[in-house]
């Protein structure tokens, strides 16, 4: 049986053989890509070690060697993490949660039109929303940026107002959603163990919300992927929607999309919020 390390190395190495390493053309050949000698030189290992990796005779590369190979091969984050995992190593994690929306995510969001969409960071901090979202749930722009956090709204530490959903929202299984959000935050602490904003959030909620502290103590790890909600909109009445959560793999951004069943009364109401909600927003002093 082929060793899993050699198999993973072959997967990423064969894909990178035709890559442009950015290295000056000092090897005197016309073909593009990397030779074993070049890869060994860029990664700071011996050619013999590269051959042993290919043949499955080197089975326990260190994290530093895997990191050097990943840099030399110019692997994407996904390819790098795949190589680490196949080598039975923990992939390196970023030091801080990112609020940045990559160009690809921005293109997808722009093409969704008036569908109610918002984007949250890995710690459920709201970083972007569209007009459809503001029309359905109320415009969060008047709320202090620091408090635009779904977990803080979900597990309040005082008697203050909600900062994200300005209208009442009901769910089919609130307990299940509570547990999913908390376990998703625990997963984020494994992905971003050095992030100060996430650490502050967890500390505040553990100290100030009993429900959160109880769920956190269970130690469960999972992701929040879907839900069903009824929004009691002040202009069109109750609107029942499907809430789906898509995750950007690298930065753990959460793209939350609210849609109604096609052809249903809820879909008609959802469309009406785009008119009624925008009128309300324009009249708002904020």
- pLDDT digit string, tens, across residues 68-101: 788 777 777 778 788 888 888 877 766 788 888 8
Q: What is the mean pLDDT of the chain?
A: 82
Contact 260, 242 (CB under 8 A): yes
Give the whole-angstrom CA distance, residue 204 versus residue 190: 18
Contact 186, 161 (CB under 8 A): no
> What's the angle, vertex CA 81, arms to CA 11 and CA 202, rounded to 5?
165
Q: Is the pTM of this model over 0.85?
A: no
Sign of the Cα pseudo-torsion (197, 199, 204, 206, in order): positive
Give the whole-angstrom CA distance, residue 145 versus residue 164: 10
> What's the angle, vertex CA 157, arms to CA 136 and CA 255, rounded to 5?
35
Q: What's the pLDDT at 17?
A: 46
Q: What's the pLDDT at 25?
A: 38
Task: Name residue, tokens 């990178």.
Answer: 16
> Which tokens belong to 239?
């609107």
Q: What's the pLDDT at 282?
A: 38
Q: What's the pLDDT at 145?
A: 86
Give the whole-angstrom CA distance, residue 193 versus residue 199: 8
Low-confidence ranges of the chain (pLDDT < 70): 1-34, 93-94, 250, 277-286
How many of the other CB atoms lie within 10 Å of CB of 212? 24
3-state secondary structure of 125: strand
How many of the other CB atoms lie within 10 Å of CB of 69? 27
């Amino acid at each position: 049986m082929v060793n899993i390390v050699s198999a993973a190395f072959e997967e990423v190495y064969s894909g990178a053989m035709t890559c442009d390493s950015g290295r000056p053309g000092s090897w005197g050949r016309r073909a593009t890509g990397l030779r074993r000698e070049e890869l060994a030189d860029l990664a700071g290992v011996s050619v013999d070690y590269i051959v042993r990796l290919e043949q499955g005779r080197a089975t326990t590369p260190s994290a530093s060697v895997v990191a050097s190979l990943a840099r030399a091969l110019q692997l994407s984050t996904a390819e790098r993490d795949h190589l680490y995992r196949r080598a039975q190593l923990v992939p390196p994690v970023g030091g801080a949660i990112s609020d940045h929306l990559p160009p690809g995510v921005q293109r997808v969001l722009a093409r969704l039109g008036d569908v109610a969409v918002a984007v949250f960071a890995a710690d459920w901090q709201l970083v972007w929303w569209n007009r459809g979202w503001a029309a359905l749930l109320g415009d969060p722009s008047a709320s202090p940026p620091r408090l635009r956090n779904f977990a803080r709204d979900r597990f309040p530490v005082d008697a203050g107002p909600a900062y994200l959903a300005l209208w009442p929202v009901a769910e089919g299984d609130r307990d299940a959603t509570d547990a999913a959000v908390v376990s998703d935050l625990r997963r984020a602490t494994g992905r971003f163990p050095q992030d100060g904003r996430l650490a502050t959030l967890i500390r505040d909620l553990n100290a100030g919300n009993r429900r959160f502290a109880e769920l956190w103590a269970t130690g469960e790890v999972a992701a929040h992927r879907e839900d069903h909600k009824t929004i009691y909109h002040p202009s069109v009445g109750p609107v029942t929607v499907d809430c789906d959560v898509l995750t950007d793999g690298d930065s753990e951004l959460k793209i939350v999309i609210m849609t109604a069943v096609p052809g249903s009364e809820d879909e008609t109401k959802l469309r009406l919020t785009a008119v009624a909600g925008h009128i309300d927003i324009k009249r708002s002093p904020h």
